[in-house]
Every structure is written in structure tokens, then in C-alpha cells.
Amino acid sequence: MTLLALAVLAAQVAQVGTTVEGLRVEYLTNPIGIDVVQPRLSWRIASATRNTMQAAYQLQVATSEASLTRGANPLWDSGKVTSDASVFVDYAGPPVASRTRYYWRVRVWDTSGRVSPWSTPAFWETGLQPADWTAEWITPPPTAADSLPSPSPFLRRAFRVGDAVRSARLYVTSLGLNEIYLNGQRVGDQLFTPGWTSYRRRLQYQTYDVTALLRRGANVIGAILGDGWYRGNLGFSRQRNLYGRQLALLAQLEIRYQSGRTERVASGDWKASTGPILSSDIYGGETYDARRELSGWTAGEAPYDDRNWTTTGVLVHPPPAVLVAAMSPPVRRVRELRPVSIRLAPSGETLFDLGQNFTGWARLTVTGPAGTTVTMRFGEVLDKGGNLYTANLRAAAQTDRYTLSGKSREVYEPHFTFHGFRYVAVAGLPSQADSTTITGIAVSSDLGQTGSFVTSDSLLNQLQRNIVWGQRSNFLDVPTDCPQRDERLGWTGDAQVFARTAAFNMDVNGFFAKWLGDVAADQDPSGSVPWVIPNPLGGDSVRFAGTAGWSDVAVIIPWTMYLTYGDRRLLERQYPSMRAWVDYAHRRAGTGLIWRPGWQFGDWLALHSDDPSYPGATTGTDLIATAFLAHSTDLVSRTAAVLGRTDDAASYRALFRAIREAFDREFVSRTGRVGENTQTAYALAIAFDLLPDSLVPAAAGRLAQDVAAREHHLTTGFLGTPYLLHVLGATGHMADAFALLAQRTYPSWLYPITRGATTMWERWDGIRPDSSFEDPGMNSFNHYAFGAVGDWMYQNIGGIDVDPAVPGYRRARIAPRPGAGLTSASASLETVYGKLSSAWRLDTGGQRFALDVTIPPNTSAEVTLWDARLADVREGGVGLTDRDGVRAARQRGPDVVVDVGSGRYSFVVMARAEKQP
């Protein structure tokens, strides 16, 4: 953009003050195929003027873009609505119809009465309601091999398009995974569709705009089906077919001609065969024989001879699940990784190091004689001998086999499997390997990156990268525990401890909204919540279910999404499920309100007192279960209050207080000792507000003492770790918190990084100080649970946080703290209102503290400058009084607190030497 154009734009923005952008419907931008009948509309305001707040808005919706921009009798016009709401505003027009595109636009008035221009129009398009489906569930002829890894079925249907096409939509789902092709082209770039949900109750369908793929005359639609989560190996007891044995497809292609006529090509009597995919299993990998490729099977223009194909059957019993439109960001290829080294392994395999542990597969590029088979094995680490280490994969073979067709330059990527790996060990290469032979393809739910966190410390920056890669690796349509061994399940405990951090790094609102739908769907009628969601393990209210810290996911994540995004409707939708869990756990605890569950996961993978490698501390499951019961009861009470259910709010508030008293009687001494005097006991008791205020300093003192006595090492596991630094920092022991974070020897967050980790390890000592590996039965090098420390880094070092009383970062808190020798740090977060950021540095030998912050329009923030005196603070080089955007400034004890509106600010706390005499 030329300087002149920039000047013109700046003048326009200055002249008009505000503009409106970033229009979203539910969690998506211009979504196609949503089935929310009353969608929520959100927008962001852009303005260079500080302290810009919205005073009113006007929304217009129409079924054509032209009539919308003409403003001529829109379908719905909200008129001028006096409100500062700009996120999740309900569409309140006439009921929406299926398969219809609605265009919308918005303009806003700011508090000085200026009106913005109308936003650029956006749209949403509705999908199908259950009654709109006329297609049949078709299935390839059953084979005896259905219960074994067997060739992937190919289904095809030829059809004619007799007229000029105005638009065409394909609505499709399947039992098992699907890839759809139209006239030789892959439809969309989504992977592992329809996704993993609670298949017996909810099954997603995807909608694709295929207008551009159709042509007049002969057309062909085709589908490849894969075992996937539906019937592939799943769970940790080598089981298959956990949801069903027969793969099936439901496809409905709707063509709208220029003439207005519509036509439907639906799954019914299609043709079926098998091809090059001899087997494809999520854990096992894929075997592909390129000599069996079915070239031209969906090309369309050239006739294809499918006389030897069989005819599909129709599923006698269609699946009971409700068809729901996919609303969360799909899984896609998100990164490509080149090998950082290629060498021969002692095993004789060629070893490719991709330099990063991640989830995905390898793209193989090879030339050689037909019939040559290249075998690729995937692993996270190398053993002492320098060979690929695979013992920690357990029963997951993670091996792809590709047999060449002999064509020139063959390129292969698998279809229905994924691997957790950094290294690829390749055997059978027909020619010399080079940097193009193997390319790492990282796949993940394609979530918008919302956060960034950088400091002056390279190890802390690596920790942040490991947390982000851990999230990227395990947010694959569902939040999995790990991506490599025969598990990869939606472990609830891991997701709940990590959710807050996850919401800093990426936009997880839609992702978790989808998954929470499955939490509620798979919740036991008793209210108990399964260990993993979706739950293929079966079980009942106690078997594979009903565990403190894990099942509390049903309460903690909806609340976290509300705090982070202001998603009140998700809270409303999940409220029955939230209540049901607390009522269940309350019943388990009984009248005494102390839940004695006996064996439970407890503080999983904490350093236990009998741990030879490091004498830790074991926290009792009764303390943990009672603490989480109290915490979830507290959150349900707050949720009820937000939803206006005052009676519920009061009764759960009373229950919380009663549990708190019981906890105090049972686990807390009058001198502040809690339970087994473990770091986790103190962290949970203080974080969940379970101690009388008078005892908090003593208890926190005991915690800090334990940390110091262990030379600043932690002992916490999955449940204590997320709260440890928060509690130390909030009770006056910030230096201990920083010392724990900066600790480089085992156990600590940075120890794995000193051992070359590029993701978060499941255990503190996945690789022990003596370089031996931990127990291969449970030793993943890509588990994000301990990455839950990330939110503390954003909130305390970066200094950005939400004001819990005003969710969605409508009001933010900026309060960065230097520590651990850091000289600078910056953190930013794309909130639903726009970018929030904080960047600080210590100058002149740490005497001068400079802080730059950005507050998005239509929000405000409280900025805290620690250990500062009002007189020493400058903004934009001058004192705070009458500074544009500075609403108030005050001394709060040793700190300065500044209340600011939106805008960019540059604060400096002047060094002593700089102060005027």
C-alpha cells in the first residue's frame, strides 16, 4: 500500500472513527452448512481512537447480497439497538430455512455518537435438518474380513448434469472415515471426516460447496471409506469394531440449476470395489499398493468400466445417532516439516529426523521398480544405540507400507491413519535418500492461533513452543492424551487441566463446544462422566467413569469457555450436564460431604513418596475428590447465577460452603497443615478457596517451605501442577514460583527441554537423568497435561488475563511481572474483541520498567505496575493525569493501578536516577 493510500485510509478512519470487521457466526467466519436455528452474530470494532466503546448497533440480514447492500427491505433489520454487545448477539429475525444463505451486515455507534460505515457483508448458510435427508445409507457388500484390517472400499456413482448449474451442495457423512471425490477432484481439504463424536448418539455431517466441481454432461462422484475410530483398533485393550462392523456412506448432492430447477443425486444404488488401500488403521498405519490404483474411477469425462464392481447395499438399520452439522474447525494439514538430518541407523534403515515431535504422517516421494515396497516406521525418540525407539508405542505399530507402481516419481501420503513422531525409519528405498524423499505433514484441528508468548529466556521460549506443539499434536478433532501409542483417547482430566492454556494459544471455543456436546451425550444417566470422551470403552457410572479431576471436565471447561469467550449459550447448553455431575459426586460423597472414593487416578503421575527416582509426596484421593467436588459445586453455583437461576445459585452456594467446612474439619489443622502436607494438597486447597482466610498465609508458607526444602523442585502430578505456581504467586511467594519455573534439573518443566524435548512429556522423567527410559507401558513424549503451566506464563510473565467478573476479556487485567532474571517478555491474545497485548522490558540495569499495551476497542483494562509510585509513572513520556484513554490511576499499596480504555499505551516506571530532584 503506497504512503498516499495509507494517509488516505488513516484520514478516513480518523474521520469515521470506527469501522466494523471480523464478522463471525457462532464460532466460524462465513460458515456453510450450519444447523443452529438462531445463530449468534459477532463483530470486532477497529478504531485508532483511544477509549472507543460501542453505544449501539444495527444489524441487517437478507437472502441476497445485492438487496442487503441496497438496504432495500432486508429479511431482518434490528434497527438501532442501544447496546454495547458485539459478541454472540442473537439473530432475531424470521425463522431460518434449511439450505439457505443469509447475508448480514452491521454498523455501530460509538459513545460519542459517531456511526461507523456498514461492515463488509458476511454470510452464513444453513445446512439440513434431520427431515431434509432423503439419501439412503449405503454400504459395500459385507465381507468376512470386516472384523479385520481390510481393504478400504471405493464407492462410485455416475450421473449427468443436464443444464447450467447455479449452485451445488454436497451433504455427506459416514460410518467410518470418508474421502469424497467429484470428477477426479478431492472434495474439500478436511481430514478424518466426519470426525469423532459419540457415534451412537451424535454423528456429524459436512457440507461442501461443489458448484465449481460439476460440469455439463457426464459426472462422477466417488467415496473412499476407512475404518477410523468407528471400527478400527481403539482403546488400550486391542479391540476393534467398538462402534460397529459395517462401514457406510450417506451422501446427498443437491444441484440448483440456473433455471431454478433443482436435482438431487443421493446415495442409493452405487457401485463398490476396493483399490490400493489394502488396510488403514489409526494405530497400525496404512498398507498401500500403488499397482492397484483405480485410475480414472471418478474422472467423469472418460467412460470408466466398473462392470466388475459390485452394487452397494442399503443399511437395514440406519444408525440411531442424530445428524448434526459440523461446527468446529476441521482437521487439516497445518505444517510441512523438512528433515533436519538423514543418516543410516544401525538397524540398516534410513533415519529421517524431522527435528520436531508432532502428529501426522510422512509424504514419501520415490522413484523405482514396480513392486518395490518401502516401509516407514514412526517414533518419537531414538534408543541408546541410535535406532528408532518404539517400545512406548505399545500395540500401535505406526507403520506405513507403500508398494511402487513403477511410474516415474511417485508421491504417497496415507489416507486414514496418523502417527505421533519425530523420526521416520525407512527401509526398502529403491534409491539414495535426499531431503525430498520424506516430508513431515503435520495435521491438527485447524484452530486459529490466538496467542503468542516470547521472553528473553530461550528455554522458556522452547517450553512455550513445546506446549503449543503438544496442543497442535493432540487437538485432532478431539483433545487426545497422546498421538502415538494405542490410546489417543479424549482423556477428560488432561483436557480440563489444559483448557485454560489451550484458550491462550488457539481459538478453542468451537473445538470444545463440539467436544462438550459429546461429554453430555456420553454422560451416564446417573450424572457420572466417563474417563474418555467420546467414550468407546463402555463401562457404567463407575467403570471407566466417575473420577474426581477427570469427570469435573463437565463443569470446568464450560466455565472456562464462558470466562475466555463470554460463551453464555454454551454454559446454558451444558448446565444440565454440569449439574448432573456435581449431583452425582455429591451423592457419592454422602451426607458427610467428604468423598472417599478409594482408588482413583488422584494426582496422576505426581512424584510419589515411594518413588526411588525422586522422593515425592502422595496426596490422598479423598482430599482430591472432596476438593474437586467443592470446586465444581462452586462453579455450578456461579453458572446458575450467570444464567439467572437464582435458586440453584443459592443452593449450590450453600452446598459449597458446607463442603468447605467439612474439608476444613477433615483435612486442615489449626496451624495451616493440609492433608498429607503435599504441594498438591496446598495448591488445591488454596486455589479452590477451601481454607479460612486466616489460615491461607500459614498454609502457603508451608507450601513454599516444601518447595524450598526440595531446592525448588515440584512433586505435583496432573491435578496439582496447574495450580502450583498460581497459588505461590498469589500468596506472596512469587520468587518461589519463578524459581520452580526456571528449574532445569529433574523434576521440572525445563528438565525435558535440557534433554531435547520438542513437546511436553507425559512424565517428569520420560528420559531419566541416567538417560534410561521410563516404563514403556506408559511413557508418551507428547502429552500436554503438564503444559498447563502455560496459562501462568501468559498471565504472570506476559501479564494478560481476563477480569473474571467481566468474561470474554471485555475487561482485561494487564499485570506483567519480571522474575527469574528475565529482562523482557511479550504476550498477546486475539480475544473475541480484538488483539490484547503486553510487552515489557527492563532497561538501565533493571531500574527502568517499560510496558507497551494494546487494548481492543469496546473493552477496557486495569493495568498494574508492580512496586511503582504514581509519580514515577509516565505514559507516552508524560504523567498519567489527563492522558487520553486513562480513565483513572491510583496507588494501591506498593503498586500503581491504571484504568484504561481501548488503545495503545506506552508506560514507563522511571528508574530512580531519572527522577527529577
Annotated catalytic sites, by residue?
Answer: 487, 762
CB atoms within 10 A of CB 239: 14
Nearer to ligand BGC, 218 or 778 (CB): 778
Residue 88 three-state SS: coil
Nearer to ligand BGC, 604 or 688 (CB): 604
Residue 68 three-state SS: helix
Smallest gap from residue 43 Cβ to ligand BGC (A): 38
Is beta strand 886-892 parallel, antiparallel or unpaired with respect to 834-843? Answer: unpaired
Residue 606: CA atoms inside 13 Å, Cβ hemisphere, count? 28
Nearer to ligand BGC, 55 or 778 (CB): 778
Smallest gap from residue 310 Cβ to ligand BGC (A): 42
Nearer to ligand BGC, 487 or 736 (CB): 487
Helix or strand run (H / E) with residue 683: helix 679-687
**DSSP type of residue 527:** S
Helix or strand run (H / E) with residue 426: strand 419-427
Nearer to ligand BGC, 192 or 491 (CB): 491
For the CA atoms of 71, 73, 75, 80, what is the dihedral angle to 10 degrees? 60
Smallest gap from residue 605 Cβ to ligand BGC (A): 8
CB 895 within 8 A of CB 868: yes
Nearer to ligand BGC, 479 or 566 (CB): 479
Smallest gap from residue 851 Cβ to ligand BGC (A): 38
Smallest gap from residue 176 Cβ to ligand BGC (A): 25
Residue type, 829: L
User: Can you say how many angstroms the Cα of residue 531 is from the centroid of all Cα atoms in its chain?
Assistant: 18
Smallest gap from residue 284 Cβ to ligand BGC (A): 19
Nearer to ligand BGC, 734 or 778 (CB): 778
| Strand segments (E) across 759-885 | 800-802, 811-814, 824-831, 834-843, 848-855, 860-865, 873-875
Smallest gap from residue 779 Cβ to ligand BGC (A): 10
Helix or strand run (H / E) with residue 108: strand 101-110
- Return all residues near 604 (Cβ < 8 A) that are at least 6 apart: 493, 549, 717, 718, 719
CB 55 within 8 A of CB 111: yes
Residue 90: CA atoms inside 13 Å, Cβ hemisphere, count? 8
DSSP string, 611-640: -TTS------HHHHHHHHHHHHHHHHHHHH
For the CA atoms of 756, 761, 764, 769, what is the dihedral angle to 10 degrees? -30
Smallest gap from residue 778 Cβ to ligand BGC (A): 6
User: Can you say how many angstroms the Cα of residue 906 is from the centroid of all Cα atoms in its chain?
Assistant: 33
Nearer to ligand BGC, 68 or 719 (CB): 719
CB 396 within 8 A of CB 283: yes
Nearer to ligand BGC, 54 or 547 (CB): 547
Which runs of consecutive H residues, i.e. helices, occur in 506-620?
509-522, 553-565, 568-589
Nearer to ligand BGC, 154 or 491 (CB): 491
The whole-angstrom separation of Cα 578 and Cα 293 is: 50
Report the residue number whose CB is nearest to ligand BGC.
481
Smallest gap from residue 678 Cβ to ligand BGC (A): 19
Smallest gap from residue 777 Cβ to ligand BGC (A): 9
Residue type, 917: P
Nearer to ligand BGC, 494 or 736 (CB): 494
CB 362 within 8 A of CB 410: no
Smallest gap from residue 493 Cβ to ligand BGC (A): 5
Is beta strand 399-403 parallel, antiparallel or unpaired with respect to 285-289? Answer: parallel
Nearer to ligand BGC, 102 or 491 (CB): 491
Secondary structure string (H, E, C) spanning 199-243: CCCEEEEEEEECHHHCCCEEEEEEEEEECHHHHCCECCCCECCCC
The whole-angstrom separation of Cα 468 and Cα 470 is: 5
Smallest gap from residue 482 Cβ to ligand BGC (A): 6
CB 332 within 8 A of CB 193: no
Secondary structure string (H, E, C) spanning 368-412: CCCCCEEEEEEECEECCCCCEECHHHCCCCCEEEEECCCCCCEEE
Q: Note the residues at the interface with ligand BGC (CB under 6 A).
A: 481-482, 487, 491, 493-494, 601, 604, 778
The whole-angstrom separation of Cα 614 and Cα 623 is: 23
Burial of residue 342, with CB atoms counted within 10 A of its CB: 0-12 exposed, 13-18 middle, 19 or more buried: middle
**DSSP type of residue 359:** E
- Return all residues near 582 (Cβ < 8 A) that are at least 6 apart: 527, 555, 629, 632, 633, 636, 652
